[in-house]
Homo-oligomer: A and B are copies of this chain.
């Protein structure tokens, strides 16, 4: 069951609409040019997790695309409306409202109109519990860009979460056709970047010091909201934090590697390019608890 609420200045709490019928114009730049941005966040029992971090990142994406964004409180109200409708519909029907996926989308709007199209969509979150306990197989895929491209070429929109995700989807099709579950992108100059829909996190213990690491953001990757929430919780629990540059050998030398994302949360990587990685169930449980508590 999908709940849909449009942002509409005539409706302060958002305008609910039927997601079961067509709602988008054929010449919306979101579809004709992939020209828009999005966020995906988790809601548990009707409460959105880290909405502030997602709205912050959406504002940053909008700035990179020079895209007019509806005001923040309009988003907050539309999210609340959509979650209330989803909880209501789930209680009435067979659906479960416990874990919901909330998608925020803004496109540049219909060609020539100059008004963005913006909506909130809520569906039941897919069950990722098996991946979270059993882990996944990953392939390293070249992202084509070098790690300095973001700094010198802002029109590449590196670091913006745009609707132009065809390459991310193609990467996932590629790894699945080749016996793996997910990908980690590397830059053409050999740095670890990110997954097509996730942030890379690794843990290592050296001389009694436990450190969580993630690639540096200036390499053109998306700011991971789940990775960031985990890092803050881990720091409070005594972990050291580190930010790249990282190379693939760092992944193989770590005590554990995870992909972090808002809906699936922390998923342990069990192998990369067919090479098995260290995996500790205790460490996976510890980090999962930190991430869950931090949300």
Enumerate chain A interface residues (CB-CB to B < 8 A).
2, 4, 19, 21-36, 38, 64-66, 103, 105, 107-108, 119, 121, 141-146, 149, 152-158, 160, 162-171, 173-174, 188
Contact = CB atoms under 8 A, between A and B. Distances in A.
B149 A144 contact: yes
A8 to B, nearest CB: 14
Given A34-B166, A35-B165, A149-B188, A154 B142 contact: no
Given A4-B26, A155-B167, A164-B164, 20 more contacts: A19-B27, A22-B24, A22-B25, A24-B24, A24-B26, A24-B31, A26-B119, A31-B31, A31-B163, A32-B105, A32-B163, A33-B166, A33-B168, A66-B173, A108-B169, A144-B146, A154-B174, A155-B170, A156-B170, A157-B167
A131 to B, nearest CB: 19
Which of the listed residues A119, A155, A163, A165 has the most CB atoms from chain B within 10 Å of its own CB?
A155
A64 B156 CA distance: 21
A174 B121 CA distance: 31
A141 B154 CA distance: 10
B27 A38 contact: no
16 contacts: A2-B27, A19-B25, A22-B23, A24-B24, A24-B26, A32-B38, A34-B163, A66-B170, A143-B156, A144-B145, A144-B149, A144-B153, A154-B174, A155-B170, A157-B167, A162-B166
A110 to B, nearest CB: 10
Nearest to A171: B155
Nearest to A25: B22
B155 A31 contact: no
Contact of A19 (B26, B119, B174, B188): B26
B156 A167 contact: yes
Contacts of A65: 166, 170
Contacts of A107: 31
B142 A170 contact: no
Given A31-B30, A170-B65, A141 B165 contact: no
Contacts of A36: 31, 166
The 5 closest A-B pairs by CB, nearest first: A34-B34, A164-B164, A164-B166, A24-B24, A144-B149
A4 B28 CA distance: 14
Contacts of A173: 66, 155
Contacts of A19: 25-27
Contacts of A108: 169
A36 B33 CA distance: 10
Contacts of A22: 22-25
B27 A26 contact: no
